[in-house]
Amino acid sequence: MENLNINTYHTTDEINPEVWDVLLLRRKLDLLLRTGKLLMESAADTNRIERNMKRVAAFMNIPEEKLHIDIRWTMIMVNVSDEQHSFSKFQKCENHAINMTMISQISKLSFKATEENYSLDDYEKELEKIIHTPRNYTPYLVAIGAGFACGGFCKLFGSDWIAFLFASICAFIGFRTRAYCVKTGINVYMSIGIAAFVSTCLAYASSFSGLSSTPYHPLLACALFIVPGVPLINFVDDMIDNHLLVGITRAANTIMMIGAMTFGIAFAMRILIVNDLNINQKINELSIVSHDSYLVYAFAAAIAAMGFSMIFNVPKRLLWIVATGGIIAVCTRNFVNLELGYGPVIGSFMGSFTVSLIAVKATHWFHVPNHVLTIPSVIPMIPGVLMYRSLLGFIELHGVIGEVTNAFSNGVDSALIILCISLGVAIPNIVARRNNNGIKNKPLCAS
């Protein structure tokens, strides 16, 4: 029984009906698990994975009351059972990488299969097409996008355009370094640390050029392509949706990534600039108040948002949409923070909340999941200046109580801003999803 494969039989006459039903169910569960695996490995939130799998199960005529799905970071389990029989299958999830196009295509397929009454062969054929679809951008194009994204951050921090260029070049080289490390089999967290180290060293070297009036700004932005925005926002989503185990795992992964990035930056600074008190002072003196006009900040935000869209493999047709979202997010944050005086924490929340609220409608216009539009749009609001102030504060501690308080305060402020960005993205999406469940999700068919 274990070695039977439904694909080796062409008619039900060759085997008895009971065995045929078992083989058919196994094939359905296999396709269902492959669907969930692709979504998990593409960095979909757990609620989306579950909803898509249930929608596919409905198309396959697997009754909801007999279906049990357990989603983990590294494993997805499916069980179909009744009073007499129980069938279970497991699928490992190993190659985690952000792929917004994959998430969008699978979501569309789950609806299309039901609406157009696909056969299992049709569904498997379409799933294979999605699996073998090449990414929208070549590796070097993604690296260029990552470079300009960090350059956009640098400009948002108040740099001049020469520093913008230096930050872009350093980030490009760092991004390619990480890709090379991963390709050669180096641990993913070690690869992040190496990339952050290389980017920081190059940014420090650029400060000696004498070409920029803001020579230390590239240090703040050169490694921000590593910022785990998607895992962090998915963690908040999962915790709010009560998917605690997956959420905690995503949080641990986020902490490991940030820790590896911090180690790479701190190691570089300890080696290169441990005695350069001027750099520490300059970074601590940087103002987080806007230095340029809203037009300049809008342009920088658009560049950063599009750069991260390329890293996340957002469809090319949506780049201008994401750029617009980045502009709305940053300008809203600056307006609430500076014009209304509510501070950067509330400003960041309102910026991400506004973008997510608009995306709730925009998902129907452009036929993509909410996170495809919102996450790249809000990444430009990451508080890089505060993060680096906290990092440098802890590196340069000399046992003075005021130093500890200052470093800790900057760390708490940056953590609050990042949390508010995540909540601002998650809340409108969750509320809209719950309100629309009765409209968008068809009930599972009975067997």
**Per-residue pLDDT reduced to its tens digit, 339-394:** 888 888 899 999 999 999 998 888 888 888 888 889 999 988 888 777 777 776 66
Model pLDDT, residue 418? 83
Mean pLDDT, to the nearest integer, of 72-76? 91
- What is the pLDDT, as a whole number, of residue 3? 45
State residue 184's pLDDT score: 92
pLDDT at residue 413 in the model: 82
Please write the tens of the pLDDT for every residue from 167-187.
999 999 999 999 999 999 899
**pLDDT 10s digits, 88-126:** 889 999 888 899 999 999 999 998 998 888 888 999 999
Question: How are strands ordered across the β-sheet holding 67-71?
Answer: 67-71, 75-81, 86-92
Q: Is the model's pLDDT at 399 over the cut of 50?
A: yes
For residue 256, pLDDT over 60 is answered with yes
> Which residue in 242, 225, 246, 243 sits closest to 145, CA to CA?
225
The pLDDT of residue 65 is: 85
Helix, coil or strand: residue 69: strand
- Per cent of the chain over pLDDT 90 is 40
Query: How far is residue 287's CA from residue 272's CA, in Å, rounded to a whole number?
Result: 24
Does the pLDDT at position 446 exceed 50? no
Q: Where are the alpha helices (DSSP H) in 42-99?
A: 46-59
Q: Is the pLDDT of residue 264 over 70?
A: yes
Q: Cα-atom radius of gyration of the chain, to the nearest Å? A: 24
Neighbouring CB atoms inside 10 A of 252's CB total: 13
pLDDT band at 201 (very low <50, low <70, confident <90, very high): very high
Q: What is the pTM of this model?
A: 0.84
- Classified as helix, coil or strand, 327 is helix
Rounded distance between C-alpha atoms, residue 254 and residue 400, angstroms: 30
Q: Which of 115-129, 191-205, 379-393, 410-424 has the lowest mean pLDDT?
A: 379-393
CB neighbour burial string for 176-191, b if at least 16 within 10 angstroms, e if fewer: bbbbebbeeeeeebeb
